[in-house]
Amino acid sequence: MKFNLLSKLKNQTVNYAGAKAFTLSPEMELYTAVVTWSLNDSFYEKDEQRMVRLRTLISKCNPVFVGKLAVYARTKMYMRSVPLVLVTELAKLHSGDDLVARVTDGVIGRADEITELLACYETLNKRKGPKKLNRLSKQMQKGLSMAFNRFDEYQFGKYNRDGAIKLRDALFLVHPKAKDELQQLLYNKIVNGDLQTPYTWETELSALGQLNFDSDEARAIAFRAKWEELIESGKLGYMALLRNLRNIQEAGVGYAHFEKVCNRLADADEVAKAKQFPFRYLAAYRELIADGTESRSKTLAKKALAMLQSNKGYTGQVLDALEKAVQASAANIKGFGHDTRVLLACDVSGSMQTPVSAKSKILLYDVGLMLAMLLQSRCKNVEVGMFGDKWKTIVVPGNNILGNVQKFYSREGEVGYSTNGYLVIKDILKRGVQMDKVFLFTDAQLWNSNNTADHIQTLWLRYKKEVSPNAKLYLFDLQGYGQAPLQILRNDVYLVAGWSDKVFEVLAALENGGSALDAINEVEL
């Protein structure tokens, strides 16, 4: 009995709150650490600490898995910086084949990521001086060469920025072989500094901002005309639209242009192509409903605003467009018919009240709410709630994703700021409510602040035995600290990680008896 007992307890550990938790496999821990990291400090873990943990985990995992995870994070989870870190660390440890070259090519999605990867390589390898990159990994060099041949002059010109490592420097270092004569002419332009300045919304507004105007009114009229021109040109990208809705509104663009913006925001095909994190829509939504009438635009003076009529009256139409956009992003969530009983529980504890990145106003808590409300919108038979010191269910409509997030956001103080996730299971156990699927959106650092013997693991086992034998519990890990409050892949407990709506695609693999890692292993290199 002692040997059996020890065998069962060997994967037990404690989390950052000092509560009992369970370790993950190196592959699962690396996955959760990567897809929840914005290269910034988190509540319990400094940036440098996660980097050390990441290196340790990479050394324990199969190099092919690490490469597939890097490409998965870039192409499926829409991450940009962390995939570059992964391929840089992989290049330190792996050689003998073209794996690093294929992964390098796979994580370069934009022209500026060529120089970003070189800067990452320089930093993580602590290279300094005039020859800081002269020992670039040969396979990384090969991968960058392949990436060079995928971009045209517009793409290179758009991202030809004056950074520490310039596009010209990268070209000399990588020495890509041009695929044809036109490509060679393009490389010559990069060398000679002759790239054509592309027509983009940034360059157009910047150029306009350098002009002198006779009056603030003339300036405001010019900017209104420029926004209208940009909207008509189609050069204003989807993300740029999201980030500039307040500026477009305050510029007072004509209704026809404003309607075109709304139609594009709500278009399902545009949403799919834009590949935005769901919380980007929430950020735009909050910007529009923020109190106060003072301009937030950096391009219009206060006096000019008084001379123009902004489109404040159209705010409702934009909010409707944003709601249609997020509903489109949830349209592919399957498997939640009227016979499927679902419980969604959102962690609103203190550790969830941290920004996802240094410059963001979006909190980790917002990410959990957003994902929960996306899922709630697709469920027919669902209870939703939040937990802190207490667990509380809240009734919300099924077709108002952004408004539901705001409702939860305004009420989070009602349950306190501990992490008593065990109360979620204790409640349905006590009530004898049969749930098919239970979802917890959390940073997974659950603990019992009430000093009782209750623990979510033992309560879940009781619930399965006494109330709902076929129930499944899904942990949506939003911070990737490396432990789980329950044993994963036992007793129908599954773990999913990340901030993108793509996490819901993993549910299909889980339904077929797989794990979150199956989606990564399916990536082609």
Note down pLDDT in tens along the chain; length 525 residues. Answer: 333 433 345 688 998 888 899 999 999 999 999 999 987 778 878 889 999 999 999 999 999 999 999 999 999 999 999 999 999 999 999 999 999 999 999 999 999 999 999 999 998 988 765 456 767 889 999 999 999 999 999 999 988 888 888 999 999 999 999 989 999 999 999 999 999 888 888 888 888 888 898 888 888 889 999 999 999 988 889 999 999 998 898 888 989 999 999 999 999 999 999 989 899 999 999 999 885 444 444 444 444 444 455 677 788 999 999 999 999 988 878 778 888 999 999 999 999 998 888 788 889 999 999 999 999 999 999 999 999 999 999 999 888 999 999 999 888 889 999 999 999 999 999 999 999 999 999 999 999 999 999 999 999 999 999 999 999 999 999 999 999 999 998 889 999 999 888 888 888 778 777 788 998 999 999
Helices (H) and strands (E) in the chain, counts: 25, 9
Task: Count Cβ atoms within 10 A of the Cβ of residue 87 and give its class: 0-12 exposed, 13-18 middle, 19 or more buried.
Answer: buried
| Rounded Cα gap, residues 265 and 123, in angstroms | 38
The pLDDT, as a whole number, for residue 377 is 92
The pLDDT, as a whole number, for residue 301 is 43
Contact of 111 with 159, CB cutoff 8 Å: yes
Contact of 248 with 261, CB cutoff 8 Å: yes
Identify any residues that bridge with 12 across adjacent strands, giving them in sequence order: 22
Maximum Cα–Cα distance across the chain: 89
Residues 6+ apart with CB under 8 A from 514: none
Residues 6+ apart with CB under 8 A from 467: 428, 429, 432, 433, 434
Q: What DSSP character marks residue 355? A: B
Task: Count Cβ atoms within 10 A of the Cβ of residue 204 and give its class: 0-12 exposed, 13-18 middle, 19 or more buried.
Answer: middle
Round to the nearest angstrom and report the end-to-end CA distance of the chain: 47
**Hey, is 398 helix, strand or coil?**
coil
Element (H, E) at 409: helix 401-411
- The pTM assigned to this predicted structure is 0.90
| Rounded Cα gap, residues 385 and 343, in angstroms | 8
CA–CA–CA angle 333, 429, 1 (5° rounding):
105
CA 33 to chain centre: 13
**Hey, is 218 helix, strand or coil?**
helix
The pLDDT, as a whole number, for residue 131 is 59
Residues 6+ apart with CB under 8 A from 484: 21, 22, 24, 444, 475, 477, 495
> Going along 372-507, which residue ranges are E strands?
381-387, 391-393, 437-442, 472-477, 483-484, 493-497
Contact of 422 with 454, CB cutoff 8 Å: yes
Contact of 474 with 503, CB cutoff 8 Å: no
- Could you give the C-alpha distances from 387 to 213, 482, 522, in angstroms and in order? 55, 21, 35
The pLDDT, as a whole number, for residue 298 is 42
Task: Count Cβ atoms within 10 A of the Cβ of residue 173 and give its class: 0-12 exposed, 13-18 middle, 19 or more buried.
Answer: middle
Contact of 437 with 379, CB cutoff 8 Å: no
| Rounded Cα gap, residues 119 and 136, in angstroms | 11
* CA-based radius of gyration for the chain: 25
CA 388 to chain centre: 24
